Structure 1
Amino acid sequence: MPSRLRRPWRPQLTRAEMGRGWVFFALYVLVFPWVMGWIQRSFHGELPVAESNVVYYLLAATLVFLVFWSFLRHGIDLLLDWLPENLFAFLTGLVGAGALHLLVGLIPLPVENPNQFSYPEQFALAPVATVVILVLFMPLVEETLFRGLLFGTARRYSRLLGYVLSVLVYAVYCVWQFVYAYGTVDLRYLLLFVEYVPMSLALTWCYDNGGSIWSAIALHMVLNAVSLASTLPH
């Protein structure tokens, strides 16, 4: 009877999905944030930030379903067919992310993570909108793009390459906007990428070893919920 410990990797995205997906990836990373910022500046601060962010991520999530529908649908089948493997990948990813986070926390950094201050403010102003964005929409969109598309594409050629690209690109993506957050360019904020390496590595591990993008999405939801809760006053 063949072993089920390691499944051969098979591409889960169709060529059409990959083509559309990379266009969407470029728009999501490079264009959408600037458009959203321009819209908010155009209203001179009168546009409710929380509600507009919900609309922004709702549109992004809708586009993800339209672009990656067959991939996400197939992911449900993989989740059910390989449920023990996906549960194992989820749990080990959760534990691994926590352990690595504690180790990374020992590294002295020249700047503090702005999310430590922005999350409590956002939650105080709009708790439901903050939870919806961080715990529902962001994991769905980002896992589909950074694990499903980026890792899945690179994994076809090299597992190591897939890990390196998925982990580092996502970690840098999480902090690049901090460089411009205070009206000046401060490249020291790029060093904060190390704080996101444990999470990014755990999510990549979860998808690679579980096989379904939905286990990585679920893990991302839990990690974001924990991250939000840790910043709130007790």
Structure 2
Amino acid sequence: MSSRRQWRPQLSPSEFRRGWVFFTLYLVVFPVLMGQIQRMLSQRFEFFLQAPEFSLIYYFLLLCATVLLFWGFLRHSFDILLDWLPENLFAFAAGLVGAGALHFLAMRLPYPVENPNVLLYPEQFAAAPQATVLILVVLMPLIEEVLFRGLLFGGLRRYSRPMAFAVSTLGYALFCVVSFVFQPEGADLRYLLLAVQYLPMSLALAWCYDHGGSIWSAVALHMAVNGASLFLAVG
């Protein structure tokens, strides 16, 4: 690897500080707040929106905040994409193939519970197809790649590459399933095992960012994986 491809922190110190606050709110506060606002609008003001349409507004606002907070990082990462285009194209292609192959193996394992997304995606798509596509294929990849790869992986990568891979890969896989665990009727820890299904995608995204050096190649890979998952779920 040449010195030009040597890994370096891409977020400024101020972006890291703002980012960790925003990341904490994204994980802990915003989901609860969204549910409370949705209930208030429907109960007090009789303002009803389909769940995908309400989520579209929610994720659009989060994207606006992400762009404002990480504009310098996104712009710098786009320059890296253009400067290191062959590396990023290879990272995207290899990540897509690797994620698909490992996901195929992961789905062959027996699980005590079924992935709720298998039923949730078709229901959301039937209720609001355009909103569902925008959320899963555009908005979520843009937000989550900046936070989980740009901030979390990039922040840890400065100190330890293996630690960055381990924490970001496992952390994102658990993030994808933790909402399944806690239901109104109680917690079911068996759903945590479904994180295995998301490990291939999570590992491929971290590898794509690490190899290509631009968050935009990881965003494109995330969009492709989510688009394929939605297509398979509703097809």
TM-score after normalising by structure 1: 0.96
- Give the aligned partner of residue 215 of structure 2: 213
Answer yes or no: is the 8 Å Cα contact 2:50–2:127 preserved in 1: no
Question: 2:3 and 2:108 mapped to 1: Cα distance?
Answer: 34
Q: Supply the AA of the counterpart residue of 2:6.
A: P
- Give the aligned partner of residue 101 of structure 2: 99
Measure how far apart 1:41 and its partner are.
2.2
Question: 1:19 and 1:131 mapped to 2: Cα distance?
Answer: 32
Sort the Cα spacing of 1:51 and 1:9 in 2 relative to 1 into closer, same or farther, 3 A: same
Measure how far apart 1:76 and its partner are.
0.6
- RMSD over aligned Cα atoms: 1.4
Is residue 117 from structure 1 mapped to residue 119 from structure 2 by the alignment?
Answer: yes
- Give the aligned partner of residue 10 of structure 1: 8
Unmatched 5+ residue regions in structure 2?
A: none
- Give the aligned partner of residue 82 of structure 1: 84
SS in structure 1 opposite 2:186?
Answer: coil
What's the CA shift string for 1:19-50, capped at 9, x where partnerless? Answer: 00000000001100001111222224833322
Question: 1:183 and 1:127 mapped to 2: Cα distance?
Answer: 29
Q: Supply the AA of the counterpart residue of 2:219.
A: I
- Give the aligned partner of residue 153 of structure 1: 155
Measure how far apart 1:4 and its partner are.
4.0
Percent identity of the aligned residues?
A: 60
Unmatched 5+ residue regions in structure 1?
A: none
Question: 1:163 and 1:225 mapped to 2: Cα distance?
Answer: 24
Choose which of 27, 36, 39 in structure 2 pairs with 1:38.
36
- Give the aligned partner of residue 196 of structure 2: 194
What's the CA shift string for 1:87-140, capped at 9, x where partnerless? Answer: 000000000000000110111110000000000000001000000000000000
SS in structure 2 opposite 1:175?
Answer: helix
SS in structure 2 opposite 1:122?
Answer: helix
Question: 1:109 and 1:24 mapped to 2: Cα distance?
Answer: 34
Question: 1:13 and 1:195 mapped to 2: Cα distance?
Answer: 30
Q: Supply the AA of the counterpart residue of 1:168.
A: L
SS in structure 1 opposite 2:159?
Answer: coil
Question: 1:181 and 1:115 mapped to 2: Cα distance?
Answer: 15
Is residue 63 from structure 1 mapped to residue 61 from structure 2 by the alignment?
Answer: no
- Give the aligned partner of residue 131 of structure 1: 133
SS in structure 1 opposite 2:8?
Answer: coil
Is residue 169 from structure 1 mapped to residue 171 from structure 2 by the alignment?
Answer: yes
Question: 2:93 and 2:168 mapped to 1: Cα distance?
Answer: 20
Answer yes or no: is the 8 Å Cα contact 2:50–2:128 preserved in 1: no
Measure how far apart 1:57 and its partner are.
0.3
- Give the aligned partner of residue 27 of structure 1: 25
- Give the aligned partner of residue 185 of structure 1: 187
Sort the Cα spacing of 1:125 and 1:49 in 2 relative to 1 into closer, same or farther, 3 A: same
Sort the Cα spacing of 1:187 and 1:125 in 2 relative to 1 into closer, same or farther, 3 A: same
